[in-house]
Amino acid sequence: MTFDDTAIDWLAKLLSDAAIAEIMPRFRRLDEGDIRQKTSAADLVTEADVSAERLITVRLRERYPQAMIVGEEACSDDPALLQGLGEADLAFVIDPVDGTFNFASGVPLFGVMLGVVVKGETVAGIIHDPIGKDWLIGARGAGSHIRHAHGTLEKVHVAEPAPISQMTGAVSWQYMPEPERSRLARNQTKSLSQFGYRCAAHEYRLLASGHAHFVVYNKLMPWDHLAGVLIHAEAGGYAARFDGSTYRPSHVGGGLLVAPDEASWRELRRELWAE
């Protein structure tokens, strides 16, 4: 079966099914053995991540047997699974629990993310909020919407451009090398205010719905960004890597700056990296 826009409803329900079956029953009920460290004490995986990804993967393989499926936890065990994402005819990229640190800490700020890639281009993105029981959905050329739990659709749009002194944003300087780390941490104070959710799903939602202006990410893994960048773009926003090049599914480095428009992107690039 090939992918088309009619599949978005099915995919949205799939993410909700995984949340109902595997994620929410474990929220604030994790045993000590249900949480493990990956690369550090801040990089965790739980039984909810693994089980939700397994359910989503099985359902996707049933419906799309020829598709490439890239799951965060599967790639953690076998990084080679990422190879070929930029050339696949059809690929699904899964973050089963984005914001695992929050989830494992009992903080209700996490999401389920899915990006759809066709021949090296992201064509759809879905972010499901298991707490709010709604979805942020974007499809190439069709805009971005919040699908509320009661079924109504609300079109979203990024914030209007503003001077950096009036912008709200997030800078993930903790993943930067020095001296860039200190420079960005210092220059972030040029903005009006900041946020740091430790959850790309909700950070992209904040930007796409016009409640904040920018984010800076250094660590680029496709499950964290493909859905969000597509949704943000369809909501009218602009994103590029630090060198100004277009962000693509095959990229795992080069950083990412997300802004309301290209002019704002250029101002942020200049001011945040100023000596």
d(CA 85, CA 31): 35
Residue 178: what pLDDT? Answer: 94
d(CA 235, CA 56): 26
Annotation-wise, does 98 bind a ligand?
Answer: yes
Annotation-wise, does 95 bind a ligand?
Answer: yes
Residue 34: what pLDDT? Answer: 85
84-123 pLDDT, tens digit each: 999 999 999 999 999 999 999 999 999 999 999 999 999 9
- Asked whether the CA dihedral 253, 258, 263, 264 is positive or negative, the reply is negative
Give the number of other Cβ atoms within 10 Å of residue 121's Cβ: 12
Using 50 as the pLDDT threshold, list the residues of the chain that sit under it: none
DSSP type of residue 275: -
Label residue 167 left, alpha or beta by phi (over 0 means left) and psi (-120 to 50 means alpha): beta
Which domains, from first to last, does the chain contain?
5-155 (3.30.540.10), 164-273 (3.40.190.80)
Q: Are 73 and 53 in contact (CB under 8 A)?
A: yes
d(CA 253, CA 213): 22
Residue 1: what pLDDT? Answer: 56
Cα–Cα distance list, 203 to 1, 212, 240 (Å): 33, 9, 17
Residue 3: what pLDDT? Answer: 76
Residue type, 270: R
Residue 102: what pLDDT? Answer: 96
Annotation-wise, does 72 bind a ligand?
Answer: yes
Residue 2: what pLDDT? Answer: 66
